[in-house]
């Protein structure tokens, strides 16, 4: 127990002084290895095994595909589709942003990437339409977080690898929660816009413009149908689907839309390298997770929580609150790797399906995208809009409440997450 306290103090101290997360976790892990006299080769072995799983290739491939689709013109056409559907309502450009982010989320797999792709187009448009800049940036940040909930999702892939849960089941489980959260965000935009009289100057919905927008955006709409349809039909695995997505994006961007240049492809490769550089966290966090099992931390946490309550809903709410607090200063990737091994045995012992817990985990990570000081989506939105992250942080609070409401709905009605996976694959055994 004294060793655990020392390790906790070292980790917190390193984090507070601003050490990079992979360094804080890595140094704490080295200290733990020293204290219990385990060879340091454990880190090298973990580093090798953490980067060898074939499905891990899915992450950089989906990031690259999403970036190519953005720069190749698909993002603009998805915004056109969204505008034709909701352009006449109060807060129309805000509604378009949310709806377009939902569509683009099915291409990118990343919250910050979705915020950048859609927000870079719609935030300037909202500013021209006299939306307050903090409100416009907050919409883009909140809606962009859908990129981690609606499949394909990089966070679901990591959770699936860590928890040994079926990735296709996780992808299916994200659909209905994604639609629920999208609806809550759109209601939030509408209520705020109606109260302050923002937007609503677009053309009323009619089938003619909607059909034309859908035809113009048919290649963008076809991307998620191809990717996800191929996975669920059994035509290819998630990793193969990511490869197909990259070639599809290249073909559409170069041959069909003719907006993808060599310079844009190189920039997309650079962006992918920077985004997937976060995988450096895998080695120290997985080793740290193995050591937590050695110290029997999951059993200790289970005993501590169940000594207060065994009500599954209360336990899930407590875990969600813990995740949201941790997400304010910890990368979502590290959060999932470190704490899934701690909490998953507890919730499964209470009868919670690992897939439903995965969706809860991802939504709490999305809230982490919207909370300072880390707030990945906040930083992207602030950079796009040219204002401070503090201003966006205040404006995004109503949208955080919408995410929390969606989270509570899914905690109390887990069947909303599990219905599609059970329909396609049968109940988990």
Q: In the chain, how many domains are there? A: 1
- 16 located within any domain: no
- 65 located within any domain: yes
- 274 located within any domain: yes
pTM: 0.83
Residue 296 clears pLDDT 80, i.e. is over it:
no
Q: Looking at residue 115, what is its pLDDT?
A: 86
Q: Give the Cβ contact number of residue 73 at 10 Å.
A: 19
- What is the distance between the alpha carbons of residues 94 and 78, in angstroms, rounded to a whole number? 14
Residue 305, C-beta contacts closer than 8 angstroms, at least 6 positions apart: 315, 318, 346
Contact 152, 241 (CB under 8 A): yes
- 30 located within any domain: no
- 335 located within any domain: yes
Confidence of residue 224 (pLDDT cuts 50, 70, 90): confident
What's the whole-number average pLDDT of the chain? 84
Per residue in 360-383, pLDDT (tens digit) is 999 998 898 888 877 778 888 888
Average pLDDT over residues 22-46: 80
- 332 located within any domain: yes
Highest mean pLDDT: which range of 37-51, 82-96, 280-294, 401-415: 401-415
Q: Looking at residue 303, what is its pLDDT?
A: 82
Q: Looking at residue 156, what is its pLDDT?
A: 92
Confidence of residue 312 (pLDDT cuts 50, 70, 90): very high
Q: Looking at residue 101, what is its pLDDT?
A: 87
Residue 339 clears pLDDT 60, i.e. is over it:
yes
For 291, the domain range is 39-425
Q: Exposure of 387 by Cβ count < 10 A (0-12 exposed, 13-18 middle, 19+ buried)?
A: middle
- Which of 216, 171, 142, 213 shows the shortest CA–CA distance to 62? 171
Residue 349 three-state SS = helix
- 117 located within any domain: yes
Q: Looking at residue 366, what is its pLDDT?
A: 86
Q: Looking at residue 320, what is its pLDDT?
A: 93
Query: Token pair for residue 22?
Result: 């992979």
Over pLDDT 90: what percentage of the chain?
26
- Provide the sign of the torsion angle of the four alpha carbons 175, 178, 184, 189, taken in this order: negative
- 269 located within any domain: yes
Average pLDDT over residues 182-196: 91
């Amino acid at each position: 127990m004294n060793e655990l306290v020392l390790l906790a103090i070292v980790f917190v101290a390193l984090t507070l002084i601003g050490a990079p997360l992979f360094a804080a976790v890595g140094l704490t892990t080295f200290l733990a290895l020293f204290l219990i006299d385990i060879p340091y080769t454990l880190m090298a072995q973990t580093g090798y095994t953490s980067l060898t799983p074939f499905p891990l290739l899915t992450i950089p491939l989906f990031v690259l595909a999403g970036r190519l689709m953005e720069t190749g013109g698909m993002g603009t056409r998805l915004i056109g589709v969204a505008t034709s559907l909701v352009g006449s309502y109060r807060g129309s450009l805000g509604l378009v942003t949310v709806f377009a982010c939902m569509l683009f989320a099915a291409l990118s797999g990343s919250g910050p990437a979705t915020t950048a792709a859609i927000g870079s187009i719609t935030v300037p448009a909202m500013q021209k339409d006299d939306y307050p800049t903090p409100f416009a940036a907050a919409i883009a940040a909140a809606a962009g977080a859908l990129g981690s909930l609606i499949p394909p999702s990089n966070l679901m892939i990591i959770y699936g690898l860590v928890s040994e849960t079926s990735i296709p089941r996780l992808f299916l489980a994200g659909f209905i929660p994604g639609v629920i959260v999208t609806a809550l965000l759109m209601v939030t935009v509408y209520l705020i816009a109606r109260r302050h009289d923002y937007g609503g100057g677009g053309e009323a919905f009619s089938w003619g413009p909607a059909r034309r927008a859908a035809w113009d955006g048919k290649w963008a709409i076809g991307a998620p149908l191809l990717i996800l349809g191929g996975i669920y039909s059994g035509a290819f695995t998630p990793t193969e689907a990511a490869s197909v997505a990259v070639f599809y994006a290249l073909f559409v961007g170069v041959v069909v839309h003719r907006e993808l240049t060599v310079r844009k492809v190189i920039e997309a490769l650079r962006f992918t390298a920077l985004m997937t550089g976060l995988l450096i966290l895998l080695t120290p966090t997985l080793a740290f997770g193995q050591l937590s099992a050695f110290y029997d931390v999951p059993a200790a946490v289970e005993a501590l929580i169940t000594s207060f309550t065994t009500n599954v809903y209360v336990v899930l709410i407590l875990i969600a609150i813990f995740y949201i607090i941790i997400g304010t200063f910890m990368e979502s990737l590290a959060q999932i790797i470190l704490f899934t091994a701690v909490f998953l045995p507890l919730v499964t012992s209470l009868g919670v399906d690992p897939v439903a817990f995965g969706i809860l985990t991802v939504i709490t990570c999305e809230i982490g995208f919207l909370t300072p000081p880390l707030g990945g989506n906040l930083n992207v939105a602030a950079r796009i809009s040219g204002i401070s992250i503090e201003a966006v942080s205040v404006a995004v609070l109503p949208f955080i409440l919408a995410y929390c409401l969606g989270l509570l709905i899914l905690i109390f009605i887990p069947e909303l997450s599990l219905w599609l996976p059970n329909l396609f694959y049968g109940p988990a055994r």
